[in-house]
């Protein structure tokens, strides 16, 4: 019997179990995620999802070729064929699964994590993402508990073929916006040595947009800065480039290019929730009266904007599996998160930083004013960003905070953690899924009161 099909040794089970997060598989290589584990996941995927073919893509991480090759071996030994897409962005993998009708897809990536990490994002047909509750947990259990023996005959092993999908992907991205409306402009793009360095030139070919490229070379060692644009220190170079080159705006992608953030022409960072409002406005011009989903960490300006443009705002828990499911249930045309994830009905409800960028460029072009003026009416409030505090008992601490503010007459809900609402400010306190942390987000109507409100909550949290 192949030792890779036997139950994992007890001393390895805790490490492998920790690889399986709420929405994906992720860990250090080779300390946690190894080629052997990738093989087992490939085998388990076939046993759980029973696809006849699986699309597999990978990003530019150094460990990507080895992890991808082992994953593919596992899928083939399970009896399924493989279309090897090679180097692609995550949204391109989702596009391929939806467009070509693959029953399953896997993206080998650790998104924005440091160079030592890698992982797997798994989806089924129509780019439906797996979570622990919708198949990922079953795959984990099979990896931990042992797999059935591989087929005995070569004829029962899956085949593998390479497939280049990036030209079709680029064409699809352009087809989902009015490219004729995009005016001549100059934008700085920081790919962070990630996959946007490959996809941006393809998508923007033929558009009247001059690209000032930063770090377009694919390099999984991230020699310039981590590919995590939500951290302010990682967009400093982009902010400088926007000013020095007189750009109309800047855009920063994360490592696998499914997330993006904007920088306005003055070099100021634009939050993902404000980008959600900007894109929502354009989507409602195209699809009047549609539902738009946003997560509860987003600014109050987001639902206000949706309503002002005639849409139906729908509030969601944080996390792509919740948002995508809610979008399907409500037939929502678009969804967005503060973290820079943007979801589109026309892309099988998958997230795409690229499509969000093109939509934003179309809106700015139509508005005929700089990005800063487009967002000014949407961005009047002050936000803390996410503040993490380690506490011994997150549930008990949350209960204390809730009780104090309930006594002060706050409106409280429990959609995700606890959200405390006052007329002129609000905050959300959520427990981490993987660490003994509480995550705090605060928004106030008056910038001058932000620091005091944050301190007020953190004192109760015990920071």
Q: Which residues are catalytic?
A: 111
Number of neighbours of residue 74 by Cβ within 10 angstroms: 29
Instruction: Write out the H or E segment, with its range, that includes residue 93.
Output: helix 90-100
Q: What are the φ/ψ torsions at residue 315 (nearest 5 degrees)?
A: -85, 140
Burial of 9 (0-12, 13-18, 19+ CB in 10 A): exposed
Do the Cβ atoms of 182 and 208 come closer than 8 Å?
A: yes
Query: How far is 248 from 265, CA to CA, in rounded Å?
Result: 5
Beta strand 209-214 with 185-190 is parallel
- Which bin fits 178, alpha (ψ -120 to 50), beta or left (φ > 0)? beta
| Owner of token pair 């040595």 | 193
Helix, strand, coil percent values for the chain (each to nearest 5): 40, 25, 35
438 forms beta bridges with 389, 431
CB neighbour list of residue 386: distance below 8 Å, 6 or more residues apart: 297, 439, 440, 441
Contacts of range 456-460, beta carbons closer than 8 Å, 24 or more positions apart: 457/401, 457/427, 457/429, 458/387, 458/389, 460/397, 460/400, 460/401, 460/404
DSSP strands (E only) in 201-266 = 209-214, 249-253, 260-263
Indicate if the alpha-carbon torsion angle 357, 362, 367, 368 is positive or negative.
positive
Do the Cβ atoms of 108 and 58 come closer than 8 Å?
A: yes
Instruction: Write down the number of H helices and E strands in the chain.
Output: 15, 23
Do the Cβ atoms of 360 and 340 come closer than 8 Å?
A: no
CB neighbour list of residue 109: distance below 8 Å, 6 or more residues apart: 58, 59, 61, 64, 90, 118, 119, 120, 121, 255, 256
Tokens of 105: 């897809």
Query: How far is 19 from 12, CA to CA, in rounded Å?
Result: 11
344 forms beta bridges with 334, 350
């Amino acid at each position: 019997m192949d030792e890779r099909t036997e139950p994992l040794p007890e001393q390895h089970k805790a490490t492998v179990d920790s690889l399986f997060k709420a929405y994906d598989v992720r860990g250090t290589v080779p300390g946690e995620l190894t080629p052997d584990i990738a093989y087992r996941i490939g085998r388990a995927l076939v046993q759980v999802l029973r696809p006849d073919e699986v699309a597999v893509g990978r990003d530019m991480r150094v460990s990507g070729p080895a992890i991808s090759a082992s994953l593919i071996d596992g899928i083939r030994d399970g009896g399924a064929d493989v279309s090897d897409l090679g180097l692609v962005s995550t949204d391109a993998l989702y596009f391929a699964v939806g467009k070509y009708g693959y029953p399953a897809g896997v993206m080998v990536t650790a998104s924005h994590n440091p160079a030592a990490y890698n992982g797997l994002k798994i989806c089924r047909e129509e780019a439906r993402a797996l979570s622990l509750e919708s198949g990922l947990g079953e795959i984990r259990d099979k990896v931990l508990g042992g797999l059935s023996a591989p087929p005995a005959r070569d004829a029962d092993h899956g085949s593998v073929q390479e497939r280049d999908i990036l030209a079709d992907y680029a064409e699809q991205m352009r087809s989902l916006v009015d490219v004729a409306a995009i005016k001549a402009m100059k934008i700085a793009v920081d790919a962070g040595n990630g996959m946007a360095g490959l996809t941006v030139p393809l998508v923007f070919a033929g558009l009247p947009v001059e690209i000032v490229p930063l770090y377009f070379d694919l390099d999984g060692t991230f020699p310039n800065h981590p590919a995590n644009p939500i951290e302010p220190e990682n967009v400093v170079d982009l902010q400088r480039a926007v000013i020095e080159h007189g750009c109309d705006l800047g855009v920063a992608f994360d490592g696998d290019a499914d997330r993006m953030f904007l920088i306005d022409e003055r070099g100021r960072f634009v939050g993902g929730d404000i980008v959600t409002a900007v894109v929502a406005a354009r989507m409602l011009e195209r699809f009047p009266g549609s539902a738009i989903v946003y997560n509860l960490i987003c600014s109050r300006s987001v639902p206000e904007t949706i309503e002002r443009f005639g849409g139906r705002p729908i509030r969601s828990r944080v996390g792509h599996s919740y948002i995508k499911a809610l979008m399907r249930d409500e037939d929502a045309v678009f969804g967005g998160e503060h973290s820079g994830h943007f979801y589109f009905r026309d892309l099988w409800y998958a997230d795409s930083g690229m499509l969000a960028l093109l939509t934003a460029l179309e809106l700015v072009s139509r508005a005929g004013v700089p990005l800063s003026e487009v967002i000014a009416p949407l961005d009047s409030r002050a936000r803390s960003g996410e503040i993490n505090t380690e506490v011994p008992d997150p549930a008990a601490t949350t209960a204390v905070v809730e009780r104090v503010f309930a006594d002060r007459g706050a409106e409280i809900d429990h959609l995700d953690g606890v959200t405390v609402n006052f007329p002129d400010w609000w905050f959300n306190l959520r427990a981490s899924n993987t660490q003994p942390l509480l995550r705090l987000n605060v928004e106030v109507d008056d910038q001058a009161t932000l620091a005091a409100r944050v301190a007020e909550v953190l004192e109760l949290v015990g920071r």
